[in-house]
Amino acid sequence: MFGYPLETVYLAVLIVSGSLTLLYIFFSDVVDGVFELPDHPLFSPQLVLSFFTVGSASGFLLERYTELPSWLIAAMSGGIALIIVLLLHFFVFIPLRSAETSLNYFDTDLEGSLAKVIVTVPCDGFGEILLTRKSGAVSKAAKSINNEEIASGTEVIVVKMENGVAVVAKHDPYDISSLHKGGYME
């Protein structure tokens, strides 16, 4: 191909695509911001570069170590690359993309959440609560909304967040006397 043996062409594509993949790993945020590439998950740059890297690597190895015809090697390399890229997409990139978005939260997102007291909340002081979220557990400093002691192990509801401190009330799903127009009284 182009006057060169196919083994050399596969090796050149491998070096170029491997180098571009490495550069894209380091500078992906800049490249995505400058070029404003469409966000189609199957045609993302990391998948396209991975396809060429895996395809050229398998083509090089098959040309070098087998006596198969070149058209069969090209077809096998394309198939191997497609399988590997699909596995990467479904088992690496999709879980990473969903994990990236699920780790972030704002304090206001915690309001209304149920939590468990892990350090007793004294009458006029601070304790600690543990909230369980999709991305893991979050512990926060807490104070009681009614200035009452809340023992360790008690289930509470986060009424509001004030400067990173959770203002909590004891949670009793069967007691509605502490509710006032849909919210906790202060």
pLDDT digits (tens, 9 = 90+) for 65-80: 999 999 999 999 999 9
Confidence at residue 5, expressed as pLDDT on a 0 to 100 scale: 82
CA dist 182 → 16, 76, 162, 163 (Å):
62, 64, 20, 24
Give the containing element (helix H, strand E) for 180: strand 179-180
Residue 96, judged by CB atoms within 10 A of its CB (0-12, 13-18, 19+), counts as: exposed
- Predicted confidence at residue 181, as pLDDT, reads 43
Q: What is the pLDDT of residue 21?
A: 87
d(CA 49, CA 139): 41
Per-10-residue mean pLDDT for the chain, 186 residues long? 80 93 82 66 80 95 92 95 92 74 69 90 91 81 90 91 89 64 48
Which pLDDT score is estimated for 47?
A: 87
Supply the DSSP symbol for 160.
E
Cα dihedral angle (130, 136, 138, 139), rounded to 10 degrees? Answer: 50
Rounded CA-CA distance 25/42 in Å is 17
